[in-house]
């Protein structure tokens, strides 16, 4: 199954390191990050889960719940959590799904058979409060993800969900943003009281709203 931007994020029930859960019910009206990793007791995955655990307060500050997944069983995840803590100093502080039956991996297209027909790739899905898929990422097993970048994207998604703006290349929280092309100059003057600078008729920048 291919999940595309704007699709409804499929609901599922799963066993996790924090007990069984139903995805939509667990997520509630928050944002969510659902991410897969290939296998327990592997080096890159160990560093990734420690990195996500360390950033949990940053996700929470943005009203984002995080949930991981691999096709190994939950009791394996629980044993591996000790290694993650030894190596990264971080306790596994978010649920990790045990997807032995490949139910969730199948639903979200996390197994790419031409990369590996058994294990999940490194998928990321960012889901909005209304359960729509807002971002998808796919990394190979050999490349650990940059979770600070994920926070940066979430900042952009949350800003653009609230205001008629887009964010330029390499944008970071607090920097100028782009007035959405669909907004006329007259409307932009009303919506953005700090005004805007038209670098080109189609490229108008304005200070980040609400700062
Ligand atoms: C890793 O996490 O290091 C890893 C997992 C599966 C394949 C290759 C690397």
pLDDT, one tens digit per residue, over 144-156 is 999 999 999 999 9
Distance from C-alpha of 83 to C-alpha of 139, rounded to nearest angstrom: 23
Cα torsion through 34, 38, 39, 43, rounded to 10? -100
- Nearest ligand 1 atom to the CA of 116 is 7
Q: Which of 45, 178, 179, 183 is catalytic?
A: 45
As given in the structure block, the two tokens for residue 55 are 């950033």
- 117 Cα: distance to centroid of ligand 1 (angstroms): 14
- Specify the residue for token string 């058994």: 118
| Average pLDDT score over residue span 136-147 | 97
Nearest to 203 by CA among 183, 179, 186: 179
* pLDDT value of position 101: 96
Q: Which residues line ligand 1 (CB under 6 A)?
A: 38-39, 42-45, 141-142
Give yes or no: 45 in active site.
Answer: yes
In percent, the amount of the chain with pLDDT more than 90 equals 98
Phi, psi of 115 (to 5 degrees): -95, -50
CA 159 to chain centre: 15
- 143 Cα: distance to centroid of ligand 1 (angstroms): 8
The model's confidence at residue 211, banded by pLDDT at 50, 70 and 90, is low
* pLDDT value of position 210: 82
- Reduced to 3 states (helix: H, G, I; strand: E, B; else coil), residue 88 is helix
* pLDDT value of position 29: 98
CA-to-CA separations, 209 to 116, 158, 175, 200, in angstroms, rounded: 44, 12, 10, 21
The answer on pLDDT for 62 being more than 90 is yes
Q: pLDDT tens digits, residue range 27-58? A: 999 999 999 999 999 999 999 999 999 999 99
| Average pLDDT score over residue span 79-107 | 98
| Average pLDDT score over residue span 108-115 | 96
pTM: 0.96
The answer on pLDDT for 1 being more than 80 is no
Residues 59 and 53 sit within 8 Å (Cβ to Cβ) = no
* pLDDT value of position 89: 98
Residues 74 and 104 sit within 8 Å (Cβ to Cβ) = no
Atom 1 (ligand 1) nearest CA? 44
Task: Please choose from 46, 119, 142 the residue to mutate so as to test ligand 1's pocket, defined by most ligand atoms within 8 A of CB.
Answer: 142
Residue-averaged pLDDT of the chain: 97
The answer on pLDDT for 169 being more than 70 is yes
């Amino acid at each position: 199954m291919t999940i595309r931007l704007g699709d409804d994020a499929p609901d599922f029930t799963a066993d996790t390191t924090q007990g069984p859960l139903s995805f939509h019910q667990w997520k509630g009206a928050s944002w969510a990050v659902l991410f897969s990793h290939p296998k327990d007791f592997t080096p890159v995955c160990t560093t990734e889960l420690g990195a996500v655990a360390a950033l949990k307060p940053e996700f929470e500050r943005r009203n984002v719940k995080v949930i991981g997944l691999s096709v190994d069983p939950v009791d394996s995840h629980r044993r591996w959590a000790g290694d993650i803590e030894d190596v990264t100093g971080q306790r596994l502080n978010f649920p990790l799904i045990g997807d032995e039956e490949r139910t969730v991996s199948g639903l979200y297209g996390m197994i790419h058979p031409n990369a590996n027909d058994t294990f999940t790739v490194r998928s990321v899905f960012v889901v909005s409060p209304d359960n729509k898929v807002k971002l998808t990422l796919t990394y190979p097993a050999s490349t650990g993800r940059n979770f600070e970048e994920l926070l940066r994207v979430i900042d952009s998604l949350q800003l653009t969900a609230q205001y008629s703006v887009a964010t330029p290349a390499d944008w970071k929280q607090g920097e100028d943003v782009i007035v959405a092309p669909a907004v006329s100059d007259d409307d932009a003057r009303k919506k953005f009281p700090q005004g805007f600078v038209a670098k080109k008729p189609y490229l108008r920048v304005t200070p980040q709203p609400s700062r």
